[in-house]
């Protein structure tokens, strides 16, 4: 049943050689890897307005020049990442670039920053999508957390189906958002050009502070949340069809151009309409003012909600891939490096889902609460990646390296300045948590690497050990619960092992079965002695562990104890809930005991009773 449900939800397993058929072209890749960046149009302008609103309505016109500065930064970083793709056609994520050119520690900082950012992207995206829905349907506000968690579940199921399948699923909503937002900008600007300005109901706004240079920088840093996801294409070059690097560079250009136009258009319209931050999102206010409360407005809100959910898809494409790379380097658990049934890194996707769900629940699906944590990680990765590229060009001096250094240095300096502003401006609002978390993760990564190196060193064979096999003395213990066909089958297997010694052990848990079991054992005449262990505290595991540890037979390095565990196999899955998990408890408890081997001897009801010949035991 579980296998059938899994196939229904995520599809049938794919063969390894089908991996090359899972690659996508530029159109699907734009939907898969650009949804995060494009979705930021829905809240980038709003974050600038919220920051400026502290100084009152007179500060809001600064939204337009700040947006121009952010768009210029988009172009600089976008051009810089085109250089990264060219230099690292197999995928030039910030982790790889920093690790190779700056060293292991900067690489780990970049990796930690990106992993944190990807988790926050999912949490922010579904929370912002929920806000878009509740702006149009206020009655849904009490169910914001449940709505956001449901979106995460849908996302992970879609992505577990594979890259191509998720690309096909998400292409429509992504391009619908681009079309509806573009239509909003065009219609809104045409109305101003023809003397029919849009009307947005004024929101109450009271100044609580002065307009200072720091406030302007804070608004700029807040609006830079519109740049999250710009690095996704450089990180995911390997999902493109051949020629991968060329297709990735072209798609990156499309993305940066589309993002800059939509972001600037939204900011221009918000400035002209004198939009103020309030209960409704800025895009919702612009939509009502431009389209009215008709079908186009609700289509815009639907497209906005969809693209904000799909923004998380960028994380589902890149978090598992980065996790796999770092796991291969020994900095993350090795389970993250393996592909699942559908040739995606399913373990990484499930980990991302769990972490994002916790954030959504803790922060109540509040975009404003999560945004301050958001951009610090991504701009840390931006800065390290561009600095790493400067070192790369200085080291290799390939054709055009001087121009490339100028581009990457400009990217490193500008993103570094934004990082400092973000860290200072958002520190008290929650950025401190990310600034603490990233070093903590770096220490965790190094601890994992040290653990793996320690295990490898301790498992490695010495020169003397390579060709020498130790002959072990095997002491066999058959655990007895009651005399039935399971025991008969297990004793036959124990004798087949031909150990040095063999005995049966019965734990008298209730203190009233010892004599009865001894008598039954003698009547059966199995040919091996029975040891009855008392259990004054009515426990099972403790007496077995104490006995095995050597109270009755001390063992050395050339001796092992094999515990034979008779177990019957239920015919139906529903039968499992009717029986206690004693065998599993025994196996779990004895697994940590040195030189102890637990062997399960399953007995199937459908097996013929005559499989063990009469008299053989």
Q: Which domain holds residue 497?
A: 473-611
Q: What is d(CA 537, CA 509) in angstroms, rounded to the nearest whole number?
A: 8
440 and 480 fall within a common domain: no
504 and 560 fall within a common domain: yes
Tens-digit pLDDT profile for residues 493-519: 999 998 889 999 999 998 889 999 999
3-state secondary structure of 503: strand
Bridge partners for 560 per DSSP? 474
> Does an H or E element contain 479, and which?
strand 473-480
Q: Degrees (nearest 5) of the Cα angle 165, 247, 73?
A: 105
Instruction: Tell whether the model's pLDDT for residue 302 goes beyond 80.
Output: yes
Burial bucket for residue 503 (CB in 10 Å: 0-12, 13-18, 19+): middle
Q: Is residue 461 part of a domain?
A: no
Q: Is residue 16 part of a domain?
A: no
The average confidence (pLDDT) of the chain is 84
147 and 245 fall within a common domain: yes
Q: Is residue 457 part of a domain?
A: no
Q: Is residue 33 part of a domain?
A: yes
Q: How many domains does the chain have?
A: 2
Mean pLDDT lowest for which of 239-243, 444-448, 598-602?
Answer: 239-243
- DSSP states along 529-557: -EEEEE-TT--SHHHHHHIIIIIS----T
Q: For 408, left (φ over 0), alpha (ψ -120 to 50), or beta?
A: alpha
3-state secondary structure of 230: coil
Instruction: Tell whether the model's pLDDT for residue 610 goes beyond 50.
Output: no
Q: What is d(CA 563, CA 474) in angstroms, rounded to the nearest whole number?
A: 10
DSSP at 243: S
217 and 359 fall within a common domain: yes
228 and 79 fall within a common domain: yes
Average pLDDT over residues 563-584: 82
Q: Degrees (nearest 5) of the Cα angle 233, 326, 229?
A: 25
pLDDT confidence of residue 441: 96
Instruction: Tell whether the model's pLDDT for residue 617 goes beyond 60.
Output: no
442 and 482 fall within a common domain: no
Question: Which of 452, 483, 507 is at the close of a domain?
Answer: 452
Burial bucket for residue 545 (CB in 10 Å: 0-12, 13-18, 19+): middle
Instruction: Tell whether the model's pLDDT for residue 546 goes beyond 80.
Output: yes
447 and 481 fall within a common domain: no
121 and 232 fall within a common domain: yes
DSSP at 338: S
Mean pLDDT lowest for which of 102-116, 161-175, 519-533?
Answer: 161-175
Q: Degrees (nearest 5) of the Cα angle 160, 365, 133?
A: 85
- DSSP states along 408-458: HHHHHHHHHHHHHHHHHHTIIIIIHHHHHHHHHHHHHHHHHHHHHHHHHHH
Q: Are 502 and 494 in contact (CB under 8 A)?
A: yes
138 and 263 fall within a common domain: yes
54 and 166 fall within a common domain: yes
pLDDT confidence of residue 3: 62
Highest mean pLDDT among 89-93, 224-228, 478-482: 478-482
Q: Is residue 403 part of a domain?
A: yes
Confidence of residue 337 (pLDDT cuts 50, 70, 90): confident
Peptide bond into 293 cis (omega under 30): no
Tens-digit pLDDT profile for residues 115-171: 998 898 888 888 877 877 787 778 877 888 888 899 888 888 888 876 666 666 768
Dihedral of alpha carbons 254, 260, 263, 265, sign: negative
Burial 95-114 (b: 16+ CB within 10 A, else e): bbbbbbbbebebbbbbbbbb
Tens-digit pLDDT profile for residues 245-277: 889 899 999 999 999 999 999 999 999 988 888
DSSP at 327: H
491 and 594 fall within a common domain: yes
Burial 583-600 (b: 16+ CB within 10 A, else e): beebbebbeeeeebebee
Average pLDDT over residues 440-460: 93
% residues pLDDT > 70 (the chain): 90
- Residue ranges in 460-525 assigned as alpha helix (H): 485-497, 514-524
Average pLDDT over residues 43-47: 86
Q: Is residue 432 part of a domain?
A: yes
Q: Which is more confident, 497 or 341?
A: 497
Average pLDDT over residues 23-34: 80
Q: The CATH number of the domain where 518 resides is what? A: 3.40.50
pLDDT confidence of residue 506: 95
Instruction: Tell whether the model's pLDDT for residue 395 goes beyond 80.
Output: yes
Q: Are 108 and 446 in contact (CB under 8 A)?
A: yes
The closest alpha carbon to 359, from 95, 116, 80, 608, belongs to 116
């Amino acid at each position: 049943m579980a296998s059938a449900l899994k196939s229904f939800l995520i599809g049938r397993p794919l063969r390894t050689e089908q991996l090359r058929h899972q690659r996508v072209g530029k159109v699907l890749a734009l939907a898969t890897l650009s949804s995060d960046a494009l979705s930021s149009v829905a809240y980038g302008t709003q974050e600038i307005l919220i920051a400026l609103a502290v100084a009152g309505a007179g500060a809001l016109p600064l939204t337009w020049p700040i947006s121009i500065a952010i768009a210029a930064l988009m172009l600089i970083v976008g051009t810089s990442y085109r250089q990264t793709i060219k230099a690292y056609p197999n995928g030039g994520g910030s982790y790889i670039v920093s690790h190779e050119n700056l060293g292991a520690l900067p690489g780990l900082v970049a990796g930690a920053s990106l992993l944190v950012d990807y988790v926050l992207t999912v949490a922010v995206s579904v929370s912002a999508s929920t806000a878009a829905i509740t702006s149009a349907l206020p009655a849904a506000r009490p169910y914001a957390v449940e709505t956001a968690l449901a979106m995460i579940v849908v996302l992970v199921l879609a992505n577990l189906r594979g890259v191509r399948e998720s690309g096909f699923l998400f292409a429509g909503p992504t391009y619908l958002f681009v079309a509806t937002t573009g239509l909003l900008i065009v219609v809104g600007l045409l109305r101003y050009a023809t003397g029919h300005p849009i009307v947005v109901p004024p929101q109450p706004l009271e100044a609580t502070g002065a307009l200072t240079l720091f406030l302007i920088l804070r608004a700029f840093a807040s609006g830079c949340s519109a740049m999250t996801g710009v690095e996704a294409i450089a990180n995911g070059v390997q999902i493109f069809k051949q020629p991968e690097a060329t297709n990735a560079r072209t798609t990156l250009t499309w993305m940066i151009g589309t993002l800059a136009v939509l972001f600037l258009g939204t900011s221009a319209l918000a400035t002209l309409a004198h939009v103020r931050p309030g209960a409704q999102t800025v895009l919702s206010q612009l939509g009502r003012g431009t389209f009215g409360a008709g079908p186009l407005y609700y289509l815009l809100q639907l497209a906005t909600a969809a693209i904000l959910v799909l923004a998380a898809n960028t994380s589902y494409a890149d978090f598992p891939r980065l996790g796999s790379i770092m796991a291969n380097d020994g900095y993350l658990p090795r389970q993250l490096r393996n592909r699942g049934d559908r040739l995606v890194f399913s373990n990484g996707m499930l980990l991302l889902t769990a972490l994002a769900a916790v954030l959504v629940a803790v922060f109540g699906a509040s975009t404003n609460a999560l945004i301050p944590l958001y951009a610090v990680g991504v701009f840390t990765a931006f800065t390290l990646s561009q600095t790493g590229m400067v070192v790369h060009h200085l080291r290799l001096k390939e054709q055009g390296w001087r121009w490339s250094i100028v581009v990457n240095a400009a990217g490193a300096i500008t993103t570094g300045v934004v990082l400092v502003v973000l860290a200072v401006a958002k520190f008290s609002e929650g950025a401190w948590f990310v600034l603490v978390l990233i070093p903590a993760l770096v220490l965790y990564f190094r601890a994992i690497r040290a653990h793996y190196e320690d295990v490898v060193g301790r498992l490695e064979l010495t020169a003397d050990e390579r060709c020498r096999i130790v002959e072990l003395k095997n002491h066999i213990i058959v655990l007895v619960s009651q005399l039935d066909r399971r025991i008969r089958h297990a004793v036959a297997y124990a004798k087949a092992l031909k150990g040095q010694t063999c005995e049966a052990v019965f734990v008298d848990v209730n203190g009233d079965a010892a004599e009865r079991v001894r008598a039954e054992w003698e009547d059966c005449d199995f040919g091996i002695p029975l040891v009855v262990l008392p259990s004054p505290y009515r426990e099972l595991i403790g007496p077995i562990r104490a006995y095995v540890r050597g109270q009755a037979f001390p063992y050395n390095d050339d001796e092992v104890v094999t515990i034979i565990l008779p177990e019957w196999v239920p015919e139906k899955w529903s039968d499992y809930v009717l029986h206690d998990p004693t065998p599993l408890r025994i196996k779990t408890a004895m697994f940590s005991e040195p030189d102890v081997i637990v062997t399960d001897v399953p007995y199937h009801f459908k097996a013929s009773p005559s499989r063990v010949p009469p008299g053989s035991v």
